[in-house]
Structure 1
Amino acid sequence: MGQLKIRNMEEFASISGISRPTVSKYFNDPDSVRTSTRAKIEAALKKYDYQPNVFAMNQNRRTTKNIGIVVPNLADPFFSEIGRRVELACIKAGYSPILLSSHGSPDMERENLHSLRSLKPAGVLLAPFGRMSDKDAVQAFDEDFPLVLFDANMNDIGQAFVGTDNSQSVGLIVEYLCRSGEAPCFFEMKSPTNPNANKRHQAYVDSMERHGFEPRIFQADGDGWDFEEIGCIEGGRLLSSKAFNTNTILCSNDRLAIGMLSAAYGLGLQVGHGAGCDLRIAGHDDHPFSRFTCPPLTTIAQDYEAIANRAVDELFGMLEKEERLSDRTETTFEGRLVMRDSA
């Protein structure tokens, strides 16, 4: 027969003949129990090859039902919407969500993680800044708490990642724009705040080359989260100077596209795919306001609900098993083309 598999600390305490509080006390501080008790526990550890649950050991935090949710900026309707869905999924499962915004600041992200430590969360769902995040701080948090990343990935950090397949989604909208009119150029931030922007850049290049077109990329000066303002000012500058050598512009995200729509309106340009239109504009994300722009914005819809539910399921799976996942998982969902009047 194979060796008995011990699943949690309760089972280990029972089979070793030692009380659960004493076992817990040992794992928190081996010197806090009597020498004879410590020897008995260590002999049982060796005999059954049991690895204690690092999550349960840390400050007895699993006595709480708190789930931390940290997003880059709740003022951004995208993160407000996906944060809301994650929050509702936690409530439905009987947990108490604590939704925090980093307000566009990586320093605030670090402070949010520090604050969550004192609340002893059962686990945390983090939409990180990515390359702008304090990697050491996120790594340290990951070592002490169940952590699932969503929206933006940080390789090898977090027990799981859930997001959108940017290669598929950008490829889908590039294919549509190429077959329905002129091949698109790509309008993006010169210094993107989110690692998804870099993935979309590369996906655009790859898709254009697959279709036999030369990629044409235009970058906007500016940083931060004022995407609409940057899209309007920089987009207007490029439109005024007739920099675009195609009448089709694919923006890296919907908020840049909304700014571009405003710039086009100010210049008296007709946006759409009908007769007499000067310009086609498309975006990515299906921003909650994109259906209400003038004209309504053609875009890629991310599956907010699937991302939120899967991220929550990954976290709760860890909590139920009381152990780290043996392998880090990455799950991405395909985007859906939403054709509206702008392109």
Structure 2
Amino acid sequence: MSGRKIKNMEEFAAVSGISRPTVSKYFNDPDSVRVTTRARIEAALDQYDYRPNVFAVNQNRRLTKIVGIVVPYLADPFFGEIARNVEQSCIAAGLSPILFSSHGDASYEADILDNLRGLRPAGVLLAPLGRSSTRSVVESFCKEVPTVLFDSYIDEIGEDFVGSNNDQSIALIVEYLCRTGEPPCLFEMATPSNPNSNKRRAAYIKAMESHGHPVNVVKAAGVGWDFEAIGCREGGRAIAEGLFSTNTILCSNDRLAIGLLAAAYQRGLRVGRGSGHALRIAGHDDHPFARYTCPPLTTVSQDYKAISRKSVAALLERIEGGGDAGDRRSILVEGKLVMRDSA
């Protein structure tokens, strides 16, 4: 490699002796140029210190292979796992994913969407904050860029939504808990950070009424994404105040359940099935840590791979259809009961 630093594509075209449009065509798709031309360009790349600025190139392209992936809180291993699966599905489809985390902050979510506009992506897979999202910002973005929402939804925004079938999954675990012991109370956030909580509460009430059992919803005070701390603090308070009317507690997500398990341990209460146990605790999601709690957590799994695969497939349909793939669809993936020792 020569010591000369090439600043831009025009300069690289000049030193390589190949036209600027042909060089640009090569960087967009190497197989689109003749074999002999490709060999000359690659020889020049070996000789000179030059790599194209992908973001600058995108400004001159009508359509890129870049797909933005936006999740609400990447520090949560749940979103880390689902983002990993979405990334892999994008790569398998020949796309170039770029991952962003809004860190539970609506203003940061808005900034990410604004930055994505500048990249002119082929499309975006967005797991919005939901309740705290700035609706007008998300709605405006979705009208400009092919966007599929996944995991959480905002009514009538985005071209498709892909996520878990909360009605099915909650009914499944409520039936199991009622059949194997006392009917469950529901433990949830008083101010949900994710729209799934509202769906799960409604599904819990419907399932309990169908089994002829009274509904008992216990709310945990607190705002934000620190679910384990809130679950431990508020779960401990609920136990101390006798707010749980039965010995079985269904948490609206696994992270709250992990906190509640800690609260039970602090109070010397054994969690599990059968005689000698004070509480049964179950969750929802099959969080990556759920199998390693003590005792391992009974839950309903979200099918990470199916949600990821279907999200990418829906986005590809929108991209290939020029942003028009018919009416907005709600694509729901069923959960599976995961029976472990906690319930």
**TM-score, structure 1 as length reference:** 0.81
| 1:1-343 alignment runs, 5 A limit | 62-343=62-343
Q: Structure 2: which 5+ residue stretches go unaligned?
A: 1-57
CA contact (8 A) 2:59 2:119 kept: no
CA contact (8 A) 2:73 2:103 kept: yes
**CA distance in structure 1 between the partners assigned to 2:152 and 2:333 by the alignment:** 13
How far off its partner does 1:274 sit?
Answer: 2.2
Which residue of structure 1 lines up, in the alignment, with residue 24 of structure 2?
none
How far off its partner does 1:333 sit?
Answer: 0.8
Which AA in structure 1 matches 2:142?
A: D
- Secondary structure in 2 aligned to 1:63? coil
- Secondary structure in 2 aligned to 1:250? strand
Which AA in structure 2 matches 1:103?
A: H
CA contact (8 A) 2:161 2:331 kept: yes
How far off its partner does 1:113 sit?
Answer: 0.3
Q: Structure 1: which 5+ residue stretches go unaligned?
A: 1-57
How far off its partner does 1:60 sit?
Answer: 6.1
**CA distance in structure 2 between the partners assigned to 1:131 and 1:263 by the alignment:** 28
How far off its partner does 1:245 sit?
Answer: 1.8
- Secondary structure in 1 aligned to 2:131? helix
CA contact (8 A) 1:61 1:122 kept: no
Q: 1:159 to 1:225 in 2, by over 3 A?
A: same
**CA distance in structure 2 between the partners assigned to 1:334 and 1:323 by the alignment:** 27
Alpha-carbon displacement from aligned partner over 1:8-51 (angstroms, at most 9, x marks no partner): xxxxxxxxxxxxxxxxxxxxxxxxxxxxxxxxxxxxxxxxxxxx
- Secondary structure in 2 aligned to 1:230? helix
**CA distance in structure 2 between the partners assigned to 1:321 and 1:128 by the alignment:** 24
How far off its partner does 1:94 sit?
Answer: 1.5
Which AA in structure 1 matches 2:252?
A: S
Alpha-carbon displacement from aligned partner over 1:284-325 (angstroms, at most 9, x marks no partner): 000000000000000000111110000000111122222412
Taking only the aligned residue pairs, the percentage that are identical comes to: 60
* Larger CA deviation: 322-331 vs 298-307: 322-331
- Secondary structure in 2 aligned to 1:132? coil
How far off its partner does 1:156 sit?
Answer: 1.6
List, as ranges, runs of 4+ consecutive aligned residues in structure 1 with deviation greater than 4 Å. Answer: 58-61
CA contact (8 A) 1:61 1:121 kept: no
Which AA in structure 2 matches 1:87?
A: E
